Amino acid sequence: MREYEGGIAAVGTGESRLGRDDVERAARRLAGRVWRTPVVRCDRLDALAGTRLWLKAENLQRGGSFKTRGALLAVERLAAAGSRGVVAQSTGNHAIAVALAARAIGLPAVLVLPEDAVPTKIDLIRETGAEIAFAGTVLAERTAMVERIQELRGYDVVDPYQDRDVVAGQGTATAELIAQIAAEGSRLDAVVVPIGGGSAIAGACLAAAGEGLAVVGAEPDAVPAFTAAVRAGEPVTVPAGHTIADGLRPDRIGSLPFDLAHRTVASVITVSEGAIEDALRAALLHARLLIEPAAATALAAALEHASSFGADVGVVLTGGNVEAGLVTSLLPGAGVPS
């Protein structure tokens, strides 16, 4: 790999560089406005993993995912600059987060979703009163729709992967995890984060800078966009296979997250659909947490590999917006109430 090309030093001009400072600033702006989600321990998951797991339960976050963090900062910045409305594309959780932030701040919002977006996420957006537009199933179709709406309405785009506030805001989840574990007198050897468009892993890399812990990514076998980008040396569009991890369906990593993360991540683990299902079920029945398949992808990677990362491994459970029908289909045979 050529030195510094695409690395942090090459991210835009001096002002657009991002570092741990930006995550700390984001955390101060978010204090008291998003939940400080708990870190959950579970003896049975530790036994399965063969090491101690510290689960950052962002499935319990407002709006049901960690995306609430970055969107709030970005929409607030745009509102302060006189925005007349916002538009964002997303597989779902960033759209929910933008819709909630726009409602809180009093801006109109249009959210562009794939046609196969999960109904739970669509419902959460509808509850806010925001407009929804559907556009195909792959990232390029959604971004084209966003550009059209931006032109027609004069709305500002809240990009889920390229926005500095979004990436720094997402990093606060990992920063909080690190601080919460320090408060317990422990420290992490590694943190495992799922990779969709890349904001979670990029934020985690910023938050972990100088903390001496390995950042590990997890993505579905079916959509290995980060793995492909690392091989190519730059973001590339991968053929999108089907994954139940709807939040990890983006078929291309954002260039900002790739630049921030690709040299910092210790490794990226690709996870089978069966392992994602098993992890979702284990989180529910052992840790009593409902998580969505994207979060289960990170947990699956941790259950399989965490013992090789060290004695204390964090897992960012990014969200909990999952279809009841999917949960039902993954549980042991429906029985009669006892």
Nearer to a second copy, 8 or 326 (CB): 326
Beta bridge partners of 319: 65
Tell me if 6 sits within 8 A of 229, measured CB to CB.
no
Q: Which is nearer to a second copy, 229 or 248 (CB)?
A: 248
Beta strands in 93-238 (DSSP E): 109-113, 131-134, 156-157, 190-194, 214-220
DSSP state of 158: -
134 binding a second copy? (CB under 8 A): no
Is residue 13 involved in binding a second copy (CB under 8 A)?
A: no
- Told to check if 115 binds a second copy by CB under 8 A, we report no
Q: Cα(156)–Cα(267) distance, rounded to whole angstroms? A: 35
CA distance 13 to 283: 42
Verify binding: residue 78, a second copy, rule CB under 8 A: no
Q: Please select the residue that binds a second copy; options are 26, 48, 53, 57, rule is CB under 8 A.
A: 57
Among 77-85, 132-140, 211-219, 321-329, the segment contacting a second copy (CB under 8 A): 321-329
Q: Is 252 in the site for a second copy (CB under 8 A)?
A: no
Residue 258 · residue 6 · CB < 8 Å: yes
223 touches a second copy by CB under 8 A: no
Question: Segment near a second copy (CB under 8 A), from 2-10, 160-168, 260-268, 285-293?
Answer: 285-293
Binding mask 82-101 for a second copy (x = CB under 8 A): --------------------
- Nearer to a second copy by Cβ, of 246 and 304: the residue is 246
Query: DSSP secondary-structure letter at 65?
Result: B
Specify the 3-state DSSP secondary structure of 216: strand
**From the CB of 134, what's the least distance to a second copy, in Å?**
14
> CA 180, CA 178: separation in Å to the nearest integer?
6
Distance CA 132, CA 71 (A): 17
Segment interacting with a second copy (CB under 8 A) among 16-24, 105-113, 114-122, 306-314: 114-122
Min CB(244)–a second copy separation in Å: 5
| Residue 288 CB, nearest approach to a second copy (Å) | 4
203-217: b (≥16 Cβ within 10 Å) or e: bbbbbbbeeebbbbb
How far is residue 279's CA from residue 291's CA, in Å, rounded to a whole number?
9
Is position 320 an interface residue for a second copy (rule: CB under 8 A)? yes
Which residues does residue 112 pair with via DSSP β-bridges, in sequence order?
A: 89, 133
154 contacts 86 by C-beta, under 8 angstroms: no
What single-letter amino acid sits at 165?
D
Q: By CB under 8 A, is residue 104 in contact with a second copy?
A: no
Q: For a second copy, which residue of 62, 67, 69, 262 counts as binding (CB under 8 A)?
A: 62
Are 159 and 70 contacting, i.e. CB atoms less than 8 angstroms apart?
no
Which of residues 23, 27, 45, 60 is near a second copy by CB under 8 A? 60
Question: Is residue 138 at the binding interface for a second copy, with CB under 8 A as the rule?
Answer: no
Q: Binding to a second copy by residue 118, rule CB under 8 A?
A: yes
Instruction: Select 166 or 290, whichever has its Cβ closest to a second copy.
Output: 290
Q: Report residue 47 CA to chain centroid gap.
A: 26
User: What x-and-dash track marks residues 180-209 binding a second copy by CB under 8 A?
Assistant: ------------------------------
Give long-range contacts, CB 8 A cutoff, 24+ apart: 277-280: 277/244, 277/330, 278/303, 279/303, 280/322, 280/327, 280/330
The residue among 5 and 43 lying less far from a second copy, judged by its C-beta, is 43
Q: How many residues bind a second copy (CB under 8 A)?
A: 39
By the criterion CB under 8 A, which residues form the site for a second copy? Answer: 35, 38, 40-43, 57, 59-60, 62, 64, 116, 118-119, 244, 246, 284-285, 287-291, 320, 323-329, 331-338
